[in-house]
């Protein structure tokens, strides 16, 4: 009987040891799994879609590049996005990505600070980033750009390309981020050729190409021969109008200037250049910093010419004075980078800017 009791006791001890060992191994596996788990990142687009040929698309290209650099694939174990059809989708989309376990979640666009701020407060252990706005919370990194510097270079190019001395600017909404593009454009035109007249009009939306086309049609009909758009998907209407007019009359000299990404693919005969806002570079850069344990939570990271965060796309080879435009643009880039010239951020300041 004693032998049976001793045997039973030993069996219980061994069983308990096995169970504890199994629990220990389970915890170690979880830890190892946490270490080995891919760093995942996702974004919530603004309205206009991930293929808007502009802001959202540039942001997505940044995530795709980050994924390629780090051997990740699209999906919950790598990088992904959720589209927003309206501002009502922002909070839902952000929460969905958090629940899916992404290590970093981006809110793309200046319309999202409230949504990002609210969701970040609810999920204090998650990391967020917002582009084009500032959210002052420790688990949110904010990305801003010196759009005025890119707009300035576009203004220089427009002033030197115009034959009618009449150019135009189409903005999406009359908000600070677009006003900076506008200010830079006005300043660039004034600095390069002060006698050039600039027409300015805002569409009021970022996702209505027909609005952009209607505004462009009126501007071209009034004698404008170069138009710069900073209007997201609304700006696609500018390219349609320019292409349509060029097809009807190939001898007509009209130009369109793109924004955010190099939009040369929107019209080989009509796109003069594009004011680059390298959202792709910023999104990829911040994702890499976060992956490397350097998440800049509670801070604003500002990207300008000096950080290669903005710039100007190549000048169309069909521009008659391509070399002159390129040389002049290069001179201004050097002045801005060196600090000799500070580009104004507001349209009011830009009106009196000379660059001297």
Residues 6+ apart with CB under 8 A from 198: 167, 168, 169, 185, 186, 189
Residues 6+ apart with CB under 8 A from 134: 113, 142, 144, 300
Q: Are residues 75 and 125 in the same domain?
A: yes
Q: Are residues 125 and 258 in the same domain?
A: no
Q: Are residues 339 and 215 in the same domain?
A: yes
- Per-residue pLDDT at 83: 96
Q: Say how far residue 29 (Cα) sits from the centre of its chain.
A: 38
19 within some domain: no
CATH number, domain with residue 75: 3.40.50.2300
256 within some domain: yes
CA distance 241 to 216: 7
Q: Are residues 137 and 171 in the same domain?
A: no
How many CB atoms within 10 Å of residue 37? 11
7 within some domain: no
- Per-residue pLDDT at 356: 77
- Domain span at 168: 147-276+321-350
Q: Are residues 98 and 217 in the same domain?
A: no
CA distance 98 to 134: 20
pTM of the model: 0.84
207 within some domain: yes
Q: Are residues 118 and 203 in the same domain?
A: no
22 within some domain: no
Q: Are residues 107 and 156 in the same domain?
A: no
Q: What is the mean pLDDT of each run of 10 residues along the chain (356 residues)?
A: 42 40 37 61 93 90 97 96 95 98 96 97 98 97 98 98 98 96 98 97 96 98 98 96 97 96 96 96 96 97 94 97 98 96 96 84
26 within some domain: no
Q: Are residues 96 and 242 in the same domain?
A: no
Q: Are residues 135 and 236 in the same domain?
A: no
335 within some domain: yes
- Per-residue pLDDT at 214: 98
Burial class, 335, CB count within 10 angstroms (exposed 0-12 / middle 13-18 / buried 19+): middle
- Residue 160 contacts residue 324 (beta carbons within 8 Å): yes
Number of domains in the chain: 2
183 within some domain: yes
244-259: b (≥16 Cβ within 10 Å) or e: ebbeeeeeebbbbbbb
């Amino acid at each position: 009987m004693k032998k049976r009791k001793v045997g039973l006791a030993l069996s219980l001890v061994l069983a308990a040891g096995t169970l504890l060992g199994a629990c220990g191994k389970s915890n170690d596996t979880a830890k190892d799994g946490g270490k080995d788990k891919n760093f995942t990142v996702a974004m919530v687009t603004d309205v206009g879609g991930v293929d808007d040929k502009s802001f959202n698309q540039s942001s997505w290209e940044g995530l795709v590049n980050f994924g390629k650099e780090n051997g990740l694939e699209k999906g919950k174990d790598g990088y992904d996005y959720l589209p927003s059809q309206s501002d009502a989708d922002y909070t839902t989309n952000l929460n969905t990505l958090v629940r899916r376990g992404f290590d970093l979640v981006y809110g793309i666009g200046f319309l999202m600070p409230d949504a990002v701020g609210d969701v970040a407060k609810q999920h204090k252990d998650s990391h967020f980033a917002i582009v084009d706005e500032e959210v002052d919370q420790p688990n949110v990194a904010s990305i801003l750009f010196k759009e005025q510097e890119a707009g300035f270079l576009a203004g220089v190019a427009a002033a030197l390309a115009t034959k009618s001395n009449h150019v135009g600017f189409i903005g999406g909404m009359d908000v600070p981020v677009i006003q900076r593009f506008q200010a830079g454009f006005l300043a660039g035109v004034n600095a390069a050729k002060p006698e050039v007249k600039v027409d300015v009009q805002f569409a009021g939306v970022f996702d209505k190409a027909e609005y952009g086309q209607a505004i462009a049609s009126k501007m071209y009909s009034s004698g404008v021969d170069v138009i710069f758009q900073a209007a997201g998907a609304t700006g696609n209407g500018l390219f349609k109008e320019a292409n349509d007019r060029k097809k009807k009359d190939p001898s007509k000299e009209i130009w369109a200037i793109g924004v955010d990404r190099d939009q040369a693919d929107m019209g080989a005969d009509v796109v003069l250049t594009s004011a680059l806002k390298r959202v792709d570079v910023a999104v990829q850069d911040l994702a890499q910093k976060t992956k490397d344990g350097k998440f800049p939570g509670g801070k604003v990271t500002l990207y300008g010419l000096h950080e290669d965060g903005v710039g100007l796309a190549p000048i169309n080879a069909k521009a008659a004075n391509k070399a002159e435009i390129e040389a002049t643009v290069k001179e201004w880039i050097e002045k801005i980078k060196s600090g000799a010239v500070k580009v104004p951020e507001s349209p009011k300041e830009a009106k009196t800017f000379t660059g001297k």
